[in-house]
Amino acid sequence: MLTALLRTLDPETAHGLAIGALKHAPLPASPPDDPILATSVAGLRLTNPIGLAAGLDKNAEALGGLARLGFGFVEAGSVTPRAQPGNPRPRLFRLSQDRAIINRMGFNNAGLEVFAGHLRDRPTDVVVGANLGANKDTEDRAADYVAGLRRLAGLSDYFTVNISSPNTPGLRALQGREALDDLLGRVAEARTTAAPVFLKIAPDLTPAEIAMIVEAALAHRIDALIVSNTTLDRPPSLTSPDRAEAGGLSGAPLREKAHKALIHAAEAAAGRLPLIAVGGVDSGAEAYRRIRAGACAVQVYSALIYDGVGLIGRIKRDLASRLRADGFTSVAEAAANRTLTER
């Protein structure tokens, strides 16, 4: 009922109310996870492989509530060194007929100091990651990622270097090999803790570009690849009135593009680099399909807007059932026995 009510409001207003509810509502703890769902990613032990993608809790202010919803891990951010307002409103659009979202938020956030303060009070019963971004007006983008890594060292369980948002001009250029080598080399030098560092890429890349990024990630000791961010494409199947708005498209229409990007990444990585799948994951069947394509974990976000937080439990129950039906004893075993067969 709450999800339906929020969908009647302006999307950004609804988002703010949802964060407020997660901060203050006395939410009950979710039931214990089925043991078959326990897994690990880059040394992080997870009770289940279903994570929250970055973008919902930009300032890490609602981690207490999010930890009680049943996620195996929660990624907060994106956070930039300095606070910034983001792009002018309206900048968030709900494409209800397509079960999709378009956003051009522009890394709106309160900055590293506020983010760090919230992380100091974070719950300890869920793995928390910090998604790092760069300020819009920064000339040396790599320096912003280094600043985030250094300021949040010891406060976050893992870090994600987000170079794939389409809403900060020039950011995706960091996915080119020369710029990527410079960025990842400086990130590697700045690492002072054992917390793993992930790299989040765009879905709008060719197989050759994905393969290049995989090799660069391996060369610079990146611990996992998140595949993938929102897309700039506008599939002809879109029917919602706001389908032509500028920004990144997420949700159901991104599903097949993100799945194909994952397959290309898995082929290039050949088991050498853990992969986390995101983009159009909205069911246990889809989570299982990504795992069978080589992902060791998945993330959700847009589907929660349409299906509510009960979706998390449904995905976990269905995933556990599918693992057992196919004779697997763990998520890792299913991911290792990668198949390109459509399920």
Active-site residue flag, 165: yes
Closest among 237, 47, 193 to 125, alpha carbons compared? 47
Angle, in degrees to the nearest 10, between helices 207-219 and 255-269: 50
Count of other CB atoms within 10 angstroms of residue 170: 10
How many angstroms separate the CA atoms of 56 and 54, rounded? 6
- Stated as kind and residue range, the H or E segment containing 41 is strand 39-41
Pairwise CA distance, residues 88 & 81, whole Å: 20
Cβ(191)–Cβ(229) under 8 Å?
no
Please enumerate in sequence order all residues whose Cβ is within 8 A of that of 48, keeping only pairs 6 or more positions apart, or say none. Answer: 33, 34, 37, 38, 39, 70, 71, 72, 316
Point out the catalytic residue in the list 78, 156, 165, 228: 165
Q: Annotated active-site positions, please?
A: 165
